[in-house]
Amino acid sequence: MKVLLYTENEKILSKSGLGKAIKHQMNALKAVNIEYTTNPKDDFDIAHINFYGLKSYRLAKKLKKQGKKIVYHAHSTEEDFRNSFIFSNQVSKLFKKWLIKCYTLGDAIITPTEYSKKLLQSYGIKNDIYVVSNGVELKNFGHDEKAGREFRKKYNFKKEDKIIVGIGLYIERKGIIDFVELAKQMPKYKFIWFGYSPLIFSRKKVRKAVNTKLNNLTFAGYVEQETICQALNGCDVYIAPTYEETEGITIIEAASCKTNMVVRDIPVFNGWLENGKNVYMARNVSEFKNKIEEIVSGELPSLVQEAYNIAEERKSENIGEKLKNVYQSCKALQNEKIKGENKI
């Protein structure tokens, strides 16, 4: 079996969570010895479409006419499109209709969580929907004290500095405004945010937040995976103040690095993250502030080992097996169709 892993605008998407998810797919398929190509002109058995752009839609329609089986990966929803860029809220309903048009081309749909599956079903999508995490490369993200020291050296942090890390694009949904507010309220802590997107597309209050000048606040921009791993190992607490996700890859990466973390208490985490059991959760700036202080002071016990189990469950080999099962289900449907046509 050979799979087409297809996306478009690779250079742009490579700096996003979607770009990271596609890299994880490649590693997952390698882990279970499934051959793949990224070239739609190659020969392949199943097309795994990762984006909702016009080129992806047209390719899916073309391949479907040729009798190819399509797996459409639902990385995005209307809910996580809202509060992202300027005018995103105004066009979110149209975006939802377009997503439905794309996703329903799939003989099977993959989405990362039960939460995002329920959202898709609420859109009226009747196609088979499989839940498969984006996963994590454990060999690239692991507990590494040396990497942590390198991070502190690279960004001129002292050994005694208490460092809080956030990761994400410059969009409101990621909680970047709350991150800046926390930096204002906690001047004794160092705050550093990794990630970048052009501010010209950001809403006014996000631009204002990113341009905030504080001695304890750094916007480091886009960095490579190695630096993210170093930061997760070198910080005292990773926080995810995001308001909406389909999963949250950086949370799994932080779990893999055995990093203390506080995440926002939102529905997408129900069923796999539990407050006080494998992570700490907060609902607002005040609660984030309290949880950070209690973790750093030692008042709250570390949950890093419990969180690591989340990453272990989502390692590449396990994700590869789940993808393989989805592909085989599609292949079985194709074989049944061929048998039926031969009988006729």
Annotated domain spans of the chain: 2-135+315-343, 145-313
- 249 CB-near residues (< 8 Å, 6+ apart): 17, 20, 21, 24, 134, 136
The Cα-based distances of 185 to 157, 190, 228, 261, 295 in angstroms read 20, 11, 25, 19, 17
How is domain 2-135+315-343 classified at the CATH fold level? Rossmann fold (3.40.50)
pLDDT of residue 333: 66
Helix boundaries (H) for the chain: 10-13, 17-31, 54-65, 78-81, 92-103, 114-122, 145-154, 176-185, 204-210, 225-234, 249-256, 285-297, 304-313, 316-343
Kindly tell me the burial class for residue 130, based on how many C-beta atoms sit within 10 Å of its own C-beta (0-12, 13-18, 19 or more): middle
Q: Domain spanning 145-313 has what CATH number?
A: 3.40.50.2000
Closest by Cα among 176, 304, 170 to 235: 304
How open is the CA angle 205-206-208, to the nearest 5 degrees?
65
User: Of 223, 279, 267, which Cα lies nearest the Cα of 242?
Assistant: 267
In the prediction, which pLDDT does 4 show? 97
Q: pTM of the entire structure?
A: 0.92
pLDDT at 339: 53
Q: Report how far residue 147's alpha carbon sits from residue 230's, in angstroms, rounded to the nearest whole number.
A: 5
Per the CB < 8 A criterion, the answer to whether 182 and 271 are in contact is no
Q: Are 190 and 216 in contact (CB under 8 A)?
A: yes
Per-residue pLDDT at 9: 79
Distance, in Å, from the CA atom of 129 to the CA atom of 117, rounded to the nearest integer, reads: 7
Residues in the chain: 344
Token pair 């742009």 is found at: 12
pLDDT the model gives residue 18: 83
Which mean pLDDT values do the consecutive 10-residue runs of the chain (344 residues) have? 91 76 94 96 96 96 95 97 92 97 98 98 97 94 95 97 97 97 98 94 94 97 95 98 96 97 98 97 98 98 97 96 96 62 50
What pLDDT score does 334 carry?
Answer: 60
The pLDDT value given to residue 15: 67
The rounded distance, in Å, linking the Cα atoms of 170 and 172 is 7
